[in-house]
Amino acid sequence: MLMLAKVVHRASAVFISIFVLIHLLNHVWGVLGAEDHINMMNNLRVYYRNSVAEMLLLASVVIQMISGIKLCVLNKTQTKTSSEKLQQWTGLYLLFFLVIHVSAVLGARLLFHLDTNYYFGAAGINTFPLNLFFIPYYTLAIISFFGHIATIHSKKIKQNIFGLTPAEQSTIILILGGCLTVLIFYGLTNHFHGVEIPKEYNVLIGK
């Protein structure tokens, strides 16, 4: 049972990770401004905003949630190293984030008929006091994603790469996650770009 849960969890994780990396790189593109971010997103959506890709992605998210919870339950009695604890806690936060984020995206699209583009994320980040929730919410999600990958990398990779030990490689992954977080918030924050949120997105911030 444990082995099957791990196989299913890893298979769905690969598909989700590919999408998340593309999604994060799209957000990094926001440093060039909202228009460039949206243009890049529209180009990428040709590949993932279709019925087949979306069904596979949603199925992978559901599988990831169920298998992740099952792994936590099956492993709860085992003694864990610091790395394993980090892997578990980052995984649990990602589970929390996926439930909220996927629900919010689907709700915005189906109920409010909004395009969940650049402004969908920027609305909450640039509105006080909502940003007191959204800034740590998104920050922890990105850091948890790279932290989860880093812990798995340190567990699976046993050889040096470019003269770097597995621990050093994992540290670089975490640093990369931190750098991407800074760039993404730089691109989404009106303090730097003078972001003006279109009126139709005011429904997201209670206006």
The pTM of this model reads 0.90
Mean pLDDT over residues 53-62, rounded?
91
| pLDDT for res 185 | 95
Cα–Cα dist 54/32, whole Å: 27
Query: In this predicted model, which residue has the larger pLDDT, 68 or 61?
Result: 61
pLDDT in tens, 77-134: 676 788 888 888 999 999 999 999 999 999 999 999 999 999 999 999 999 999 999 9
List Cα–Cα distances, 169 to 46, 89, 146, 147, 149, in angstroms: 33, 20, 12, 12, 11
| pLDDT for res 84 | 84
pLDDT in tens, 160-186: 888 899 889 999 999 999 999 999 999
| pLDDT for res 160 | 86
| pLDDT for res 146 | 97
Percent of the chain that is helix, strand, coil (3-state, to 5): 80, 0, 20
Cα–Cα dist 10/16, whole Å: 10
| pLDDT for res 8 | 80
| pLDDT for res 169 | 93
| pLDDT for res 7 | 81
Q: Name the residue type at position 73.
A: V
Does residue 192 carry a pLDDT above 80?
no
Q: Does domain 2-205 have CATH number 1.20.1300?
A: yes
| pLDDT for res 204 | 92
List Cα–Cα distances, 178 to 30, 69, 142, in angstroms: 16, 27, 8
Q: Which two structure tokens, joined as six digits, stand for 171?
A: 């540290």
Q: Which two structure tokens, joined as six digits, stand for 45?
A: 């959506």
